[in-house]
Amino acid sequence: MDRELWNKAAAFHGHECPGLAIGFKACEAARSRLGLGASPDEEIVCVTENDACGVDAVQALLSCTFGKGNLIYRGTGKQAFSFFERSSGRKLRVCLRPGARPAPTREERMRAILDAPVDELFTFSEPSFDLPERARLFGTVVCSKCGEGAPEHMMRLDDGKPVCLDCFKDYTRGW
């Protein structure tokens, strides 16, 4: 285990925990299998299927962030991370095996995860979806109800006037 990288991830996250260890090991798998390092811009993309502690390791170690548009949340709740390298087209989905490294205490579970070979912790496959497009810039539209601005692709029309998602009253008929 690279102690310097672990310390970097833990400093970013704020503490050491089993969830951070899962993300740390997922990044280790991406680095070893795809040769990935930190992403200065959008060269590497991570689609995370969870919003748990491990995502902070992805941000700290691979520089995939929501702000740059190369960290995308796909909420399935699974401890799974799909990594894409734009230049080569290579991709890898890393998913935690159910019951991987159980231990009686939080500290022992974290240690067990950090000490385990990635092949024992995860299954590996190709993502079932394509590489997301690069982040786009959108113009800001002001909501006619609350006066707040939002990007044009997140606005709706209500009686012909732009409204934000918070002000929009969705219309469904029970479907």
- What distance in Å separates the CA atoms of residue 39 and residue 171, rounded to the nearest whole number? 41
pLDDT of residue 35: 87
- What distance in Å separates the CA atoms of residue 85 and residue 161, rounded to the nearest whole number? 41
pLDDT tens-digit series, residues 29-76: 999 999 888 877 889 999 999 999 999 999 999 999 999 999 999 999
Q: Identify the three-state secondary structure at position 81.
A: strand
pLDDT of residue 57: 98
DSSP per residue, 28-56: HHHHHHH-----SSSSEEEEES--STHHH
Domains and CATH numbers, the chain: 3-125 (3.30.1330.130), 137-175 (3.30.60)
